[in-house]
Every structure is written in structure tokens, then in C-alpha cells.
Amino acid sequence: MRGLECRIGRPVSVKRWTLLGLVLTSLGLARPTAAPAPSGPPHLILGTAWYPEQWPEERWDEDLRLMQAAGINVVRIGEFAWSRLEPEEGRYDLDWLARAVDKAAQYHIAVVLGTPTAAPPAWLTQKYPDTLRIDEHGRRAGHGGRQHFSFTSSRYRDFCRGIAEAMARRFGHHPNVLGWQIDNEYAEVSYDEDTRQKFQQWLQARYRTLGNLNQHWTTAYWSQTYFDWSQIPIPVGYQNPGLMLEWKHFISDTWRDYQRNQLEVIRAHADPRQFITTNMMGWFDGYDHYVVSADLTLASWDDYVGQGQLDPDRNGMTHDLTRGFKRQNFWVMETQPGNVNWAAVNTFLNRGTIRTMAWQAVGHGADAVSYWQWRSALNGQEQYHGTLLGADGTPVPVYFEVQQIGREFAQASEALAGTSPESPVALLHDYDSRWAIDWQRHNARYDQIQVFESYYRALRALTQAMDVVNPYAPLERYKLVVAPDLNLIPDDLARNLTAYVRAGGHLVLGPRSGMKDQYNALLPQRQPGLLADPLGGRVEQYYALDQDVPVSGNWGSGHASIWAEQLAARSPDVQVLLRYGASNGWLDYQPAVISRAYGKGRITYVGALLDDALMQAAARWMVAQAGLSPALGPVPPGVEVCRRVAPGASPGKPAKQVFILINHTAQPQHVSLPRAMRSVLTGHQAQSLDMPAYGVEVLVD
């Protein structure tokens, strides 16, 4: 264990890189080893984004040789290469791509093919300007950037289908192609007239009659009543909340449909073993990721820290969010090798934390970690972004940290095969509620991701495993379900949640819960709507706070900030767990948290945003109520435990389990283990670990 850690503890001099290059050359890595195409993907993948179209072909061998020497076994290619793949309308040139795919195979490097539709070529947009998107101010996008197409344009989709089909016909059975990424980071929508008409048609299919729409949006307000579908606008700025929510639903369905256009044609020509994904962006809320993930084989995301250093909880939570999109393992399709180029300060990640970040991804269920990018294009907008090679084509220092990751992934690949994270606790995450609250924060400081994170941090420290899922996901397997921000609770969801509690689950609702229906209209009941009955209590009034309010009770004393709801216990068996102290008169000594046993389970309502110490006490209480214990056992602060299990014959008895321990601090840490365990990375067996700064361990029983 120590020996391995030492390697990153020492400075690597330029001379030593040169030396390493010589050693690798002498090991025969300078030329491709005569290799058959990979028989199957490794269980843990290390990848990079490679742009062979930007370089002379004579350079490819050297790139692939250096990749192989770093332990990279997958490249993602093609996703911005449309102008090379279809240099003129209808003339496809895939030969160079085929040569790149074949060449990669010679170095045992498999390929994920990106469809290039995020960057249409100039001939296309010049000849068909109607395919260009229009922004909310009515300006048409031009050539020179990317994502300048309109996501609803039928003509654009025909071109997308054409190039995707040409690629799928050529590579759908290629043994070295592992899977597909459709487009790249869906984000930009269009406000053109065609989109507006499609939105109106979409609304018509959903609501059937204008009377129905007018009623659910309460358009009697401000004379908003629609007499004809053609009168309905695309919302720009703050508009009717019903209209705004449906616009987001339309966007989500449109991206799904945009994606399906390519997905269907790829599936029609590709081996079923080839996966299909798209790269998403963590907490980005431009569309509902559960909707867009539905047709994909696996979810993937682009994990960028941007400015500063890794925040392990925030990043771990985002992995868990992504794992929840399809409730299965996922890929980190892009991550920064050191720095990005788009933050205010493009800080370089501390030495050692490229590795902790990679292992954290795996710990949270990533089966692949891929670096963006291999080498900067000599020109183009991203010249300053982090890379593994310098402009001179030789490794930069971070290459060697990635090489260490490559070695370790290879060592741990077999142990991690078939394993996934598993948790008895779910946090519920819902786009409709996020949008609804964000459009009317009522307190500018109400940041839902921070609220979500306050629950996540406190609970994960105790459980060492968390799921983040959509509220409509099956919940039976969870002992504890926490909904920090479930603003929209339509009747069907209220019934599901009540059934969960009745069957023995513990449901914890955060502030602003159960205020609205699926049309973003206020419920004609007090919060939390239909759940007020099982709760035996309700929200009397909510208050945006500009000053902290004292709270105390069973969880100790502290304060609420930003938001406080005055609760009422209406049933005699309701426990009041926290009360407000003296503040604005209205809140004084009123219940802030109430809880009630219901059916075989329990429902708890937390009406305020609590300080960290109170959140920790709340989490201890929730965990004790649900009878939960940590996945491994207590570890020092700053050390993260992740557990991946392979399902066994009976529930609770996994066929195998692997623990990944990460020291996210710059200090050494001593960790006592509950029993002697074996390190997959060193082979050593021990009952305690001395982890160096930014140390990582992978342990099995």
C-alpha cells in the first residue's frame, strides 16, 4: 500500500518523463503490438476524448502508443467531426474514421463513437439557415460556435439521421466499437416560429381542449385566457407558472425525440452489445434528465470542478444523481485532467486529486472515467483547457497521475466486475419541483442544490451510501426516503408516498413540500396537500427569513435560516421535535418539525432550513429511527467510504462486496477497519490503514 502511494508522493521531473518514454519504447510500446480486436470491454474503463481529425494520420500511432502506456483503454471520437465526415451534402467520408477505429484496436483501445450533431458544418447551415436556432431575443445563431441548430427542426433531424445512419451502418458491427454517444451535452433550445407551433401542437395533444388548459393554468388571471392554440407563446422571462412548466416538459420531450431520431437508426444497424448514451451535465436543469435517459442504455455525465478544488460531497452527490437517472452504473464521459478553461479562475486540481476524483467516481458507480481531452487542438476556442499531452505532443505532469489510475483500474477491474453501489436511503429529486421553486424562490438565497446537499452531507456521513432517485421510482427497498424539496406532489404521487409509509417506510419531507399539483398550480389544500392527513399536521404559514430564527427541541438547539414554516400538529399522536424560539411573533414557540407514526411506518415534516449541527442531529435521528448503520464503520472526517456489491442469492447477502476508501484531505489519516481486509491494489491484508494525503484504498474481505 505504502509503496504504491509513494509513487505519487515524489516530484516527477522532466528528465524522468523522458526516461519513462525510453523505458516504454524499450518495452515495445513504440509500435502497435499485433493485437486482435478487444474481445470485450474491461470492467473498469479509463478513457480520453481524442480528435484524430485534428491531426495528421502519421501522428496517430504516437498518440495511441502514449494512451496505451497510460492504461487508457477507450477513446471517444467523432463527436465534433461532422465537416470531415460529410464534407458536402450527402457525401459521407467515413474511411478516415474507420482507419482511426482500426488503429485504436491495434493498441487495445476500444472506441465510443460520438455522433457529430452538436456542430453542424458550414455548408449545411449556409444552405438551410432554417436549421439554425433562434434565441429568446429573436437572434439567429451563426457558424463558428457549436449547438447552433434548432432542436425541433425536421430538416436538421433528417441530416442528423443521415450521418448517424451512415456511421451506424459502417460501425454498428465493428468489434472495436463499444458504444455510442448521441450528440453532446444537449442544452440550447430555440424560440423560432416552427418551435412555437410545435409547442402549441404538443399542448393540444396534452390538454385536448383549451378550456382544460385555461382552467389548469388559471388564465382568468390577468386576462390570460386563450381562445385559440395559436395564441399561446413560448415563455420568455417570468410568465404564468403553468405555461413555464409545460415549456420545460415540451423541451424534455423534444430532446428525447431529437435523441430518438438518431437512437433508432443506430439501434437498427448496431449490435445490441453496443451501448447508446449521451453526456449529461450533473445538476443542469435545462430538461428533465429522467425523461431523456429513458431510452438510453446507460447514463453518462461530464464531471468538471471548474474553479477551486474538489468538493467531495457535492461531487459524490452528483454521481449519485447520475446513477439515479437509470438506477444503474454510469460513465463519467468527460472529466478535467487538471483544469478547465471556462471558469473565472481555472484552478488546477491539487496533485493526487485527479486520482481521488477518479476513484470517487468508481465508488459511486462509474464504470468508466474519461478525460477531456487528450491534446488541445492547436487552434480553436479551448486552447487553455487541461490535457494529457502538451502542444508539443509529449506528456504533461498530470499524464503520470492518470497512468497510475490506469494501473490501478487494471488491478481492480476484476474485483469490481458486476458490482454497483447500494443504499437503504433515497433522496428524492424532481425537476418539476426544482423549476417551480427556482422560478419563485421567494427568498433569493433559497438554493435548492444547497438544501439538497445539507441533507445529503449529514446522511451520507452516517450511512456511507445514498441513492438519489426520482419520486416515482420504486421505493419499497428503502428504509428511509427523504424529499428535501418536493414542491409538487400531485395526487398519484401522494398516494404512492402514503403507501410507502403505510408499508413501513420512513418519509421525511423538507420545507415547501406538497404545495402544488402537476400543473404548477397551488393545491386547494394546505401543505403538504394530501399528505397532511397521514402526517396529522400541516403548514399554517411560510416565512422568508432575512434573519436567523432560534429553534430547539429533541434534536438540540440552533437556528433556522432563509426559510421557516409554522407547522401545526392536528392529531394528538403527532410529536413536535423542534420548535421555534422568539422571532417574528408569528413563529414564536410554534412547531418547526413534526413527526407521526402512520401505518407500519412514519412521516416527518421538517419546516425549516436548519444549521449544520441540527442537520447532523436530524440525520442521526432519522438513521436511528430507520435502524441503519454505516456501510463499513466509523472513519475520520475527510475519509470517504464507498461500497459496491454484486447481488447474491438472497437480499442482504451480496455475492461480493468491494470497499473504496478515499482520503480527500491533504493530511495522512489512520483508519481502523471492522475486520482484516485485503487491499486489491497492494495485496496486503490489514485491520487498519495508514492512508497518506489523498490516499486511496480498494478493499475486499
List residues with catalytic annotation: 185, 334
- Output 55 or 304, the one with its CB closest to ligand GAL: 304
Q: At 279, which helix (H) or strand (E)?
A: strand 279-280
| Number of Cβ within a 10 Å radius of residue 318 | 21
Helix runs in 270-378, H state only: 289-293, 312-326, 353-363
Kindly state the smallest distance separating residue 438's Cβ from ligand GAL, in Å. 22
- Output 384 or 472, the one with its CB closest to ligand GAL: 384
DSSP calls for 566-635: EEEE-STT-EEEEEE-SSSSSSTT-EEEEEEEETTEEEEEE-EEEPHHHHHHHHHHHHHHHT---SS---
Q: Return the exposure string of 414-448: e unless at least 16 CB atoms fall within 10 Å of the residue's CB, then b.
A: ebbeebbbbbbbbbbbbbbbbbbbeeeeeeeebeb
Kindly state the smallest distance separating residue 49's Cβ from ligand GAL, in Å. 7
Exposed, middle or buried by CB within 10 Å (0-12, 13-18, 19+), for 528? buried
Is 283:318 a contact under the CB 8 Å cutoff? yes
Kindly state the smallest distance separating residue 176's Cβ from ligand GAL, in Å. 23
Altogether, the residues listed in the chain come to a count of: 701
Is 44:362 a contact under the CB 8 Å cutoff? yes
- Output 358 or 539, the one with its CB closest to ligand GAL: 358
DSSP 112: E
Helix runs in 273-311, H state only: 289-293
Amino acid at site 263: L
Kindly state the smallest distance separating residue 321's Cβ from ligand GAL, in Å. 17
How far apart are the C-alpha atoms of 112 and 177, rounded to whole Å? 6
Is 324:294 a contact under the CB 8 Å cutoff? no
- Output 5 or 334, the one with its CB closest to ligand GAL: 334
How far apart are the C-alpha atoms of 136 and 562, rounded to whole Å? 32
Kindly state the smallest distance separating residue 384's Cβ from ligand GAL, in Å. 10
- Output 114 or 316, the one with its CB closest to ligand GAL: 114
- Output 145 or 674, the one with its CB closest to ligand GAL: 145
Of the candidates 121, 111, 117, the residue with the CA atom closest to the CA atom of residue 180: 111
Secondary structure of residue 47 in the 3-state scheme: strand
DSSP calls for 182-251: -SS--------HHHHHHHHHHHHHHHSSHHHHHHHTTTTGGG---SSGGGPPPP-SS--HHHHHHHHHHH
| Number of Cβ within a 10 Å radius of residue 581 | 15
- Output 219 or 315, the one with its CB closest to ligand GAL: 315
DSSP calls for 416-463: HTT-EE--SEEEE--HHHHHHHHHT-SSTT--HHHHHHHHHHHHHHHH
- Output 133 or 174, the one with its CB closest to ligand GAL: 133
Residues at the site binding ligand GAL, with contacts judged by CB under 6 A: 184-185, 302, 304, 334, 340, 372, 382, 385
Kindly state the smallest distance separating residue 77's Cβ from ligand GAL, in Å. 12
Kindly state the smallest distance separating residue 241's Cβ from ligand GAL, in Å. 30
- Output 280 or 691, the one with its CB closest to ligand GAL: 280
